[in-house]
Amino acid sequence: MLSSCKWSFPLLLTASFAAHACGPAGNLVTNCNFNVDISGYTAQKGGDVISHEPALGNQAPGAMRVRDTNADSDSQAEAESCVNLTASRDYRLSASFRAVLAAETCLLGWDEFVLPNCNQPNGTFIASGGVSVNSQSYTSVNALLSASASAQSVELVILCSAGSGEPQFLVDDISLVSAMLLRNGFEAP
């Protein structure tokens, strides 16, 4: 009887630190892997289109396709999702990108809101640096971003651009995790 307890305790301990079904433990993004659908996301108004790709994911089956159209006369494709923040001010934001057509550079960021559920914007936009992407494989984008003291929610900005044309890209594995969890060892940095 004691030997089974010795074996089950380490298994329970390691399971609590393992990644859950939607990204790393503590991920505030509820639909991060698009295995079923793209619920919780909207296309940027003015000409972008998003769709579900059930078999083109990075590590799991699903992904979200984001496509620009000539309706907005720019060369950017953008999807957005609202996330309520925790008490932390510092977060790791990450995603995996793969170009489909004309996408050259991708970035992650957010628009801050002073109330939960992305109400009453305060106008602050914060973003990662741009990262080059290709159509052969997924490229990870990781950024450590700090929210202002008044921010209670953020609208994630998932964006790729091209020098010209109408970019299309796939995105998968989106996560927004408190840096406090990372420092306390609940998730590998």
The pLDDT of residue 99 is above 60: yes
Give me the pLDDT at residue 181, please: 62
Whole-number percent of the chain with pLDDT over 70: 83
Residue 124, judged by CB atoms within 10 A of its CB (0-12, 13-18, 19+), counts as middle
Q: What tokens appear for 143 in the block? A: 């950024």
Domain annotation covers residue 4: no
Antiparallel, parallel or unpaired: β 153-161 and 76-84 = antiparallel
Phi, psi dihedrals of residue 96, rounded to the nearest 5°:
-115, 135
Q: Is residue 8 part of a domain?
A: no
In a domain, 73, yes or no: yes
Which pLDDT band holds residue 32 (cuts at 50, 70, 90)?
very high
Least confident interval from 15-24, 36-45, 147-156: 15-24
Domain region containing 57: 22-183
The reported pLDDT for the residue numbered 37 is 97
Q: Do the domain assignments include residue 15?
A: no
For 60-81, the pLDDT digits (tens) are 899 999 999 877 777 899 999 9
Lowest-confidence pick of 62-71, 133-142, 151-160: 62-71
Spatial CA neighbour of 181 closest among 96, 87, 110:
87
Confirm whether 17 is domain-assigned.
Answer: no
Task: Identify the band that residue 131 occupies on the pLDDT scale cut at 50, 70 and 90.
Answer: very high
What was the pLDDT predicted at 94? 96
With respect to residue 85, please indicate whether it lies within any of the assigned structural domains: yes
Mean pLDDT of 24-48: 93
| Domain membership flag for residue 99 | yes
Mean pLDDT rounded to a whole number for the chain: 84
Domain count, the chain: 1
Q: Is residue 5 included in any domain, yes or no?
A: no
Give the CATH number, domain containing residue 107: 2.60.120.260
